[in-house]
A and B are shown apart, each in its own frame.
Chain A
Amino acid sequence: MILLTRKAEFSASHYYWSEKLSAEENLRLFGKCANRNGHGHNYTLEVTVEGEVDPVSGFVVDLKELKDVIHRQVVDVYDHRHLNLEVPEFKEMIPTTENLAIAIWNRLEGQVEGAKLHRIRVYEMPDLFSDYYGEA
């Protein structure tokens, strides 16, 4: 088994706010991320797939296809958007870095022919990132 990782970038805005919490609790928990006018990041996404190397092509997966799938399923939907207001999965779920990793996994799972998703890593900033391995 070999792992292959493709990177992509998108820029988006978001805020952290839960209707299930009081205003005070939102502010205490989320700090400046709770500003309802939102703020933004340049996100870096790393999609890692696993599989066997095809004896003829020498590929685990067709990289062009992987790139197209990432763009179609994720970048085209998230890039230059307000995640809370314009992306359906974040109508109810706060677009934290953890939830972004899970949501991107769900968008990509089963979409890449011949390879199995191994890890989704989302960098919100160079010093902060979240990993999801599909664990329950």
Chain B
Amino acid sequence: MRAYLSRRYGFSASHRLYSEAYSEEKNREVYGKCANPHGHGHNYVVEVTVGGRVDPITGMVCDLAELDRCVRTNVIDRFDHTNLNFDERFTAEVPTTENLCIAIHSLLAEHFVHADLERVRVEETPNNFFEYAGKGKHGTASSRS
């Protein structure tokens, strides 16, 4: 039987939303206070959902310790207490939470091999969150049906 397991993680980072492709006025218009020159920060929450067959012996979709290790090594250690604009992923891309969500999805899709990566959700604040399930996908069975 197929089930889905979700785990929530946190990291704190700063960013500035500003595009060199826009004028100062346009940046201000598009990004508002998020374009302030010295940046600002958030306590991000990353919710990772993996899916797969429940192993008949272990009763688990995957070993949670493996998931924790993978997320910590590839995501938390990389972004926690950093300025996202200086991360190599964001040299040519604005570190909006949409782009961050896609970046985290691609890091986990590349490195996590113990179950299917179903969805990555990034909460920038308790009121704003973004979800990415991979190119052309809409997430788990909840949004498929």
Contact = CB atoms under 8 A, between A and B. Distances in A.
Interface in A1-54: 16, 18, 20-21, 29-31
A98 B6 contact: no
Interface string B40-71: 00000000010000100111110111000000
Nearest to A31: B65
B5 A98 contact: yes
Given A31-B65, A135-B1, A95 B59 contact: yes
Interface residues of B, number: 23
Given A102-B3, A133-B140, A128 B8 contact: yes
B92 interface: no
Given A29-B63, A102-B1, A130 B57 contact: no
A56 interface: no
Max chain A C-beta neighbours (<10 A), residue from B61, B65, B141: B141
Contacts of B58: 18, 29-30, 94, 96
B4 interface: yes
Given A16-B59, A31-B65, A98-B60, A131 B142 contact: yes
A130 B59 contact: no
Contacts of B2: 133, 135-136
Contacts of B140: 131, 133
B26 interface: no
Interface of A: 16, 18, 20-21, 29-31, 93-99, 101-102, 118-119, 126-133, 135-136
